[in-house]
Amino acid sequence: QSVLTQPPSASGTPGQRVTISCSGSSSNIGRNTVNWYHQLPGTAPKLLIYSNNQRPSGVPDRFSGSKSGTSASLAISGLQPEDESDYYCATWDGSLNVLVFGGGTKLTVL
């Protein structure tokens, strides 16, 4: 059971917009910024969004992040087949004094 709750799966067709939620609490998302990672099978995770809504260079602007209260969201617009991946949110939990990841969301492009 992860401290951060993500839907286990999400799906969309090419060109659609999908969102992935990440729900936490006042001790983690409520007081700290959120990063988002994506991971292809057999490879290391890669940074997608940092500080809630910032994109590293090289990440398409189809990807956007937001945070409100104790929840964060990742939105992917103009869905493409290569977006099929696992997505994870991450933040620091100040009460547990640990870094926490969401359980991960497997995105399928139909």
Partner 1 sequence: EVQLVESGGGLVQPGGSLRLSCAASGFTFRTHWMDWVRQAPGKGLEWVANIKQDGSDKNYVGSVKGRFTVSRDNAKNSLYLQMNSLRAEDTAVYYCATDLLGATARWGQGILVTVSS
By the criterion CB under 8 A, which residues form the site for partner 1? 2, 32-33, 35, 37, 39, 44-47, 50-51, 54, 56, 86, 88, 90-92, 96-104
**Between 15 and 56, whose beta carbon lies closer to partner 1?**
56
Q: What's the longest Cα–Cα distance across the chain?
A: 41
Place of tokens 């700290």: 32
CA quadruple 59, 63, 67, 70: dihedral positive or negative?
A: negative
Structure tokens at 26: 């006042």
Q: How far is the CB of 50 from partner 1 (least distance, A)?
A: 5
CA quadruple 87, 28, 34, 18: dihedral positive or negative?
A: positive
Q: How far is the CB of 21 from partner 1 (least distance, A)?
A: 15
Quick one: residue 29, left, alpha or beta (phi over 0 = left, psi -120 to 50 = alpha)? alpha
**Between 18 and 89, whose beta carbon lies closer to partner 1?**
89
Q: How far is the CB of 14 from partner 1 (least distance, A)?
A: 26
Q: How far is the CB of 31 from partner 1 (least distance, A)?
A: 12
**Between 17 and 98, whose beta carbon lies closer to partner 1?**
98
